[in-house]
Structure 1
């Protein structure tokens, strides 16, 4: 967004310079010299503007290439050792290390559907940490809906994308954490 604003402002600045370089009347004094100087100034200004645009475009392209690729679905990397869910409002922490609870939570995470577009969410009510046997971790922000409603989760490695959980999966999640 900053780059776009920079580009717009630089174009506006260049336009202002070009408008300011126009003569107001029919002046005939040294028209050849003045005209050449004006053309030279405009040419230099255009060259500078093109260089700036090229730098902005290259920077923007590099930024896009360096962004992490977004999965269409949530994937879990390896064998899970345990899953911890923390209620950020009540400061309570629940750890699930039994196979049944881990399988249920795994099915909840994998079944989440990606929401298209970039999102701006309120602060999450819960934080979920998936810890694997090799001690790697995957962190999720979790918004748990009420009974009969949907929930949402966000992988903290990609904070511009959320995944929604169906009503049925919300029910399973509520059963686990209550």
Structure 2
């Protein structure tokens, strides 16, 4: 009888400890707040987009509504991808400036030949998003014309 009581108490204590550890791990995950969003959050009140291959060097600036709208349409359709993120240096750095003077930084990896392009918010390196098309090259080509 005593052995059964000890076994039952051990199981109860072990079960409580596992549940407590699990909730602590969730609280420590910095990306847990973004996991509920399946798409990349971007505001509509964009006033300027700056794109560069190196952070802030030789940047290309988009302030026209057509380019901003193309950018917004594509980014708002970006889909969050599950899994562990381990990325190389991005192909492009994008800074989005809003009417309220806030900014959002996004790193972009351009997809090669029918592969999706990958996006990552610079302040959340635990989550990536994908878009179907190479929208950035289209914007850069449009700007060079």
Q: 1:127 aligns with which of 87, 93, 100?
A: 93
What is aligned with 1:92? 58
Q: Distance in 1 between matches of 2:134 and 2:23?
A: 46
Output one character per residue of 1:23-44: Cα deviation in whole Å (capped at 9) or x when no partner: xxxxxxxxxxxxxxxxxxxxxx
Cα pair distance change 1:116/1:147, threshold 3 Å: same
Cα pair distance change 1:90/1:176, threshold 3 Å: farther
The Cα shift of 1:152 comes to 1.2
Q: Distance in 2 between matches of 1:57 and 1:90?
A: 41
In structure 1, stretches of 5+ residues that fail to align are: 1-45
With structure 2 as the length reference, what TM-score do the two structures score? 0.70
The Cα shift of 1:56 comes to 5.2
Cα pair distance change 1:78/1:168, threshold 3 Å: closer
What is aligned with 1:160? 126
Larger radius of gyration: 1
Q: RMSD in angstroms over aligned alpha carbons?
A: 3.4
What is aligned with 1:62? 27
What is aligned with 2:48? 82
Count residues in correspondence: 135
With structure 1 as the length reference, what TM-score do the two structures score? 0.59
